[in-house]
Structure 1
Amino acid sequence: MILREGRAVHGLTIRRYMGLDLSIMNSLMDMYLKCNHVREAEHVFKAITERDLVSWNIMISGYSQNGHPREAQTLFKELLRWCSQCSLATLLAILPSCDSPESLHFGRSVHSWQIKLGFSNHILAVNSIMFITGHFWEALETFKVMRRESHVRHDSITLGTDAHVQNALITMYGRFGEIETAEMVFSLSQYSEYIVLSACTQLGVLRHGKEIHGRVFKFGFQRNSFISAALVDLYSNCGRLDTALQIFCNLPEKSVAAWNSVISAYGFHSNGRKSIELFHDMIESGTRPTKSTFINLLSACSHSGLVNEGLSYYEHMSDEFGVESVTEHHVCVVDMLGRSGRLCEAYEFIKRMASQPEPGVWGALLSACNYHGDLEMGREVATILFGLEPDNVGYYVSLSNMYVAAGRWSDAVELRRIIQDKQFMKPPGYSIIDAGFG
């Protein structure tokens, strides 16, 4: 919140010739990274002539925490060429960069490195390894190994007692038909109203959402910023924008989560101009925008056709508001350009990205090519995606649909044959209707 003062201190260190003090330089890097200013931290890191392990750990952790996994992994490899005996802090710095299926192979390499250096029984390391794999059987096996160690005990992080994990547990047991177990987890949750509102929002079940709203009001939980934001999301997604705005306007203190929800609400209802107006009201109120704020704002611009406005906000995210762009912002920009038919600009935007684009960014362009019937570009983008995510059936289906639309039936049939040979299964779509019974 006081980045300007931090920059002033940085200037003071330069004037006082403190640039050779390694601890000061490390602290400056840490400051910039915690303020989401990755590029400025990079400049400091590159200016250090003799780095210590703390310097490397800070920069690797900063990349990981700010949505730059590839840069974190590249720097980690460079560190290993410089120093093979690293610390537990290095391990904890790099592991958050391995939180996607694309990074599973790299995460396994880090796991091997962890065992080699003797950290296999350290509780923080074990917790982090279980968190990043995305392969739940391996995570459970790792947990079993940890339980067999007499000197290692699980903690709240291992078991996960926060709302997000409890919500995931309820979802998991529900999908397996273990309704009684799901109800037990729900009854143990002190955040049950937040959790249930999110479920009602995703399902579009307004009737049950209203019942939870009544319970929230009865116990005075509407003062909780997360619950009030969830209520705004609920009514907006269920088509009751008027009620969502009434809840927002009646909030005595508007949190950034509440601002984000109402900006998203207007965007969801294709009123991007109002989203922009609320964004400026938010800034004038002294509330600092977050990454989620700009995701909602860019999405609102995209759905309302406000392309130039959206591009302007994207370009000034960092220098004016201190928010570094991440994959979700890149997807919004590509979607925004793609919806308006500016496919070549979207393609050039991706090519100019400083880091390797994530599959979701290319996926947004493929969807735009499908919508506008640009088969030539669509084939090129699909080929890239086949290399990045060869098992994602959605990319094959999109390209097949483009072939059909262009009348190229033989190509469409060939692609469908590939889908069958690979035994891909597209998840079936479904609709839910609240009949009002019970």
Structure 2
Amino acid sequence: MASHENQADDMSISCAIAACTSLQEFGVGLAIHGLGIKLGYGENNQISVANSLISFYSQFRDIHASETVFKGMAGKNVVSWNAIIKGLFLNEEAGEAFYLLRAMQFVASIQPDIATVVTIIPFCAELLLLREGKAAHGFTIRREMASELSVINSLINMYSKCNNLKEAEYLFLTMPKKDLVAWNTMISGYAQNGQPQEAQTLFKNMLGCYSTCTLPTLLAITQSCDSPDSLQLGRSIHGWSIKFGFSNQIFALNSLTHMYISCGALLDAFTLFGGISAKADVTSWNTVIAGCTQKGHFWEALEYFDLFRKASRLHFNPIILVSVISACGNLGLTFQGRLIHGLAFKTGAVTNTQIQNSLVTMYGRLGDTESARRAFDLSHNPNLCSWNCVISALSQNEDANKALELFRSLEFEPNERTISTVLSAS
């Protein structure tokens, strides 16, 4: 369009910015923003352009730029408010997001709509904000939105994630009409809350209502196959996924690999993984390495980490390193543990709090309390888990006095694990 000397308008500019957001093209987005200002379609006088810019900068973690655009708008619509609220949540500014949600309700011409609600509730689910989620639920009832399918499905997911399965179950059972999303969400809710039998029963009931299923159905039900007793069903689900054409979907293959590891069928898991290793993403490798560690197959986890480093050009993520560090600690491999520590230091991953905590735990298991304490002291942003790890490491290695000294200087409200560790030291 630009090469044909046609002048872009506000619609083409906002669409182009939205495309940059989807493609993660920050530099191009900045250039289009500049072009919009040059042509007189800046954020101050064009709502559609401003709304696209808010989402664009939010996705690139520049919430200050998003707020600047929002505050500079001469006129705002409900999309503007929804975009900035979502942006604040994406940038871990939940308090500010709720503040703006409250302020939005005092704007006479604009009120929260269904899009606002289905933006807020999933973040309440991810952040485990049950109280705020219940408040959002109450709001939907007052505004007569509670019968909307998208709202009910979001609420079922929120209550499931917040371990309030009774509320999720009640909403599901009282739905006047259920879609596949509702079934999938409830099946996943049962599986995530340690009720695999209920998840599997609901899955079988769902198959009586629908002749076909979706990939989210597969991802939901495989979570419930987490023991050798579920292996037969898991193999049936694998066959069903091939039948419905999901056998080339990397998400499905990762889920099935984890299912086989959880059921103790390592040969099946490794055979399946071997068939996809050429196109495996970092999540695939993470699935097999972390899955082996979680189920106590520590040697296998280390073997696959070695294969990952040799065969893959992918950069490992913190979860993979945490799993490998844990495997070294459980196997008592001091030399290998120090090598992984060095690798984390070399790649800069050592600044990750999860990795720091796993290093403290590993050195504690290896009986090296001096290294455990040093790893804790070098933590950039220790959390309560960090304190629990180092107190536990000292307590387990007969450094009880040092453990109690650390407890006295604890910078957080102790939880159940803290108290049990300190009682053990005492």
Within a 5 Å distance, the mapping from 1:11-410 to structure 2 comes to 16=3, 21=8, 24=12, 26-34=14-22, 37-38=23-24, 41-48=25-32, 49-51=34-36, 52-53=42-43, 54-55=48-49, 57-62=51-56, 64=58, 71-79=61-69, 83=72, 85=74, 87-88=76-77, 89-99=79-89, 102-111=92-101, 114=104, 121-123=111-113, 127=117, 128=119, 132=123, 135-137=129-131, 153-154=144-145, 156=147, 160-162=151-153, 164-166=154-156, 168-169=158-159, 184-189=170-175, 190=178, 194=184, 197-198=187-188, 201-202=191-192, 211-212=201-202, 214-216=204-206, 218-219=208-209, 223-238=213-228, 240-241=230-231, 243-251=233-241, 252-255=243-246, 256=249, 258-266=252-260, 268=262, 269=264, 273-274=270-271, 276-279=273-276, 294-302=282-290, 303=292, 304-305=301-302, 306-307=304-305, 309-310=307-308, 316=314, 330-336=317-323, 338-339=325-326, 341=337, 342-350=340-348, 361-373=352-364, 374-380=371-377, 382=379, 384-386=381-383, 392=384, 394-405=385-396, 407-410=398-401
Aligned to 1:411: 402
Give the drift of 1:44.
Answer: 0.6
Contact residue 60 and residue 72 of structure 1 kept, 8 A: no
Aligned residues, how many? 366
Encode CA deviations 1:321-344: one digit per residue, 9 max, x unaligned.
xxxxxxxx8432442553463123
What do the CA deviations read for 1:66-90 (whole angstroms, capped 9, x no partner)? xx6xx14232244357x25463333
From the superposition, tell whether residues 145 and 220 of structure 1 become closer, same or farther in structure 2 (CA, over 3 Å): closer
CA shift at 1:384, angstroms?
1.0
- Structure 1 pair 277/85, CA: closer, same or farther in 2 (3 Å)? farther
Paired AA for residue 166 in structure 1: I
Query: CA separation in 2, counterparts of 1:241 and 1:146?
Result: 41
TM-score, reference length from structure 1: 0.63
CA contact (8 A) 2:360 2:390 kept: no
1:110 deviates by: 3.5
Cα distance change, pair 142–263 in 1 and its aligned pair in 2 (3 A) = closer
Change in 2 beyond 3 A, CA 1:20/1:299:
farther
Any idea what SS the aligned residue of 1:234 has? coil
Runs of 4+ in 1 over 6 A off after TM superposition: 17-20, 142-148, 170-173
CA distance in 1 between partners of 2:310 and 2:87 (Å): 29
Whole-angstrom distance in 2 between the partners of 1:114 and 1:239: 51
Task: Judge which range, 413-422 or 87-96, deviates more.
Answer: 413-422
Checking the alignment, whether the CA contact within 8 Å between 1:236 and 1:244 is kept in structure 2 is no
Gaps of 5+ in 1: 1-12, 284-288, 318-328, 387-391, 430-438
> How far did 1:362 drift?
1.6
Change (3 A) 1:32 1:410: same
| C-alpha distance in structure 1 between counterparts of 2:390 and 2:240, whole Å | 48
For residues 365-410 of structure 1, give each alpha carbon's deviation from its aligned partner in whole angstroms, at most 9, with x where no partner exists.
3123312344145314555133xxxxx4x33211211233455433
CA distance in 2, matches of 1:59, 1:350: 32
Q: Is the 8 A contact 1:338 1:365 kept in 2?
A: no
Separation in 2, partners of 1:145, 1:203: 26
Q: What is the alpha-carbon distance in structure 2 between the residues aligned to residue 145 and residue 43 of structure 1?
A: 40
Q: Aligned equivalents of 1:116 and 1:212: distance in 2?
A: 43
Cα distance, 1:31 vs structure 2: 2.5
| 8 A Cα contact 1:301 1:310, kept in partner | no
Aligned equivalents of 1:330 and 1:194: distance in 2? 28
Aligned partner letter, 1:279: I
* RCO comparison, higher one (Cα < 8 Å, 6+): 1
